[in-house]
Chain A
Amino acid sequence: MKNTIISLRNAVVEYDGEKILKDINLDIIDKQFVTLLGPSGCGKTTTLRIIGGFAEMASGELFFNGVKINNLPPHKRQVNTVFQKYALFPHLNIFENIAFGLRIQKLPEKEIKARVEEMLKLVNMEGFEKRSINSLSGGQQQRIAIARALVNRPKVLLLDEPLGALDLKLRKEMQIELKRIQQELEITFIYVTHDQEEALTMSDTVVVMKDGTIQQIGTPQDIYNEPNNAFIADFIGESNIIDGIMRRDFLVEFAGKEFACVDKGFEKDELVDVVIRPEDIKVVPQYQGAIIGVVENVIFKGVHYEISVDALGYKWIIHSTQSEEVGSIIGMNVTPTDIHIMHKQEEE
Chain B
Amino acid sequence: MKASKFLAVPYIAWVLIFTIIPLSLVVFFALTDSDGNFTLDNLFQMSDYMSVLFRSIVFAIIATVICLVIAFPAAYIISRVSSMNQSSLIILIMVPMWISFLLRTYAWMTLLEPNGLINKMFSLVGLGPFDLINNAGAVILGMVYNYLPFMILPLHSVMTKIEPHTVEAAQDLGCNKINLVRKVILPLSMPGISTGIVAVFVPSVSTFVISRMLGGGTNDLIGDFIESQFLGNSYNPHLGSAMALVLMVIVLFMMSLFNQFGSEEGAV
A-B complex is real = yes
A-B contact count (CB 8 A): 69
- Nearest-CB residue, chain A, relative to B168: A54
Q: B126 near A: Cβ within 8 Å?
A: no
**How far is A80 from B166 in the complex, measured between Cα atoms in Å?**
13
**How far is A92 from B268 in the complex, measured between Cα atoms in Å?**
7
**A interface residue count range (under 10 / 10 to 19 / 20 to 34 / 35 or more):** 20 to 34
Tell me the minimal C-beta distance from B133 to chain A in angstroms. Answer: 44
**How far is A300 from B252 in the complex, measured between Cα atoms in Å?**
70
Q: Which residue, A75, A80, A88, has most C-beta atoms of chain B within 10 A?
A: A75
**How far is A116 from B166 in the complex, measured between Cα atoms in Å?**
20
- Nearest-CB residue, chain B, relative to A77: B172
**How far is A84 from B172 in the complex, measured between Cα atoms in Å?**
14
**How far is A79 from B172 in the complex, measured between Cα atoms in Å?**
8
**Docked complex: A55-78 residues within 8 A CB-CB of B:** 73-75
- Nearest-CB residue, chain A, relative to B174: A104
**B interface residue count range (under 10 / 10 to 19 / 20 to 34 / 35 or more):** 10 to 19
Q: A345 near B: Cβ within 8 Å?
A: no
Do A83 and B169 have beta carbons less than 8 Å apart?
Answer: yes
A104-B169 contact given A89-B184, A132-B268, CB 8 Å threshold: no
Q: A188 near B: Cβ within 8 Å?
A: no
Q: A182 near B: Cβ within 8 Å?
A: no
A90 surroundings in chain B (CB, below 8 A): 166, 188
Do A91 and B175 have beta carbons less than 8 Å apart?
Answer: no
Do B187 and A101 have beta carbons less than 8 Å apart?
Answer: no
**How far is A74 from B171 in the complex, measured between Cα atoms in Å?**
6
Do A104 and B265 have beta carbons less than 8 Å apart?
Answer: no
Do A83 and B188 have beta carbons less than 8 Å apart?
Answer: no
Tell me the minimal C-beta distance from B158 to chain A in angstroms. Answer: 11
Do B171 and A104 have beta carbons less than 8 Å apart?
Answer: no
Contact partner of A93 (CB less than 8 A), chosen from B172, B184, B268, is: B268
Contact partner of A81 (CB less than 8 A), chosen from B166, B169, B175, is: B169
Contact partner of A75 (CB less than 8 A), chosen from B166, B171, B188, is: B171
B168 surroundings in chain A (CB, below 8 A): 52, 54, 74, 81, 83, 87
B169 surroundings in chain A (CB, below 8 A): 81, 83, 87-89, 148
A85-B171 contact given A90-B188, A132-B268, CB 8 Å threshold: no
B265 surroundings in chain A (CB, below 8 A): 91
**How far is A149 from B169 in the complex, measured between Cα atoms in Å?**
9
1/0 per residue B87-98: CB within 8 Å of A? 000000000000
Contact partner of B163 (CB less than 8 A), chosen from A54, A87, A104, A105, is: A87
Do A104 and B166 have beta carbons less than 8 Å apart?
Answer: no
Q: A100 near B: Cβ within 8 Å?
A: yes
Tell me the minimal C-beta distance from A74 to chain B in angstroms. Answer: 4
Do A104 and B175 have beta carbons less than 8 Å apart?
Answer: yes
**Docked complex: B150-194 residues within 8 A CB-CB of A:** 163, 165-166, 168-176, 179, 183-184, 187-188
- Nearest-CB residue, chain B, relative to A92: B268
**How far is A70 from B174 in the complex, measured between Cα atoms in Å?**
17
Do B172 and A100 have beta carbons less than 8 Å apart?
Answer: no
**How far is A323 from B173 in the complex, measured between Cα atoms in Å?**
54
- Nearest-CB residue, chain A, relative to B169: A87
**How far is A3 from B174 in the complex, measured between Cα atoms in Å?**
26
Tell me the minimal C-beta distance from B190 to chain A in angstroms. Answer: 8
**How far is A83 from B165 in the complex, measured between Cα atoms in Å?**
7
A52-B268 contact given A84-B165, A85-B163, A89-B166, CB 8 Å threshold: no
10 contacting pairs across A/B (C-beta < 8 A) = A52-B168, A75-B176, A83-B168, A87-B165, A88-B169, A91-B187, A100-B170, A104-B174, A149-B172, A149-B173
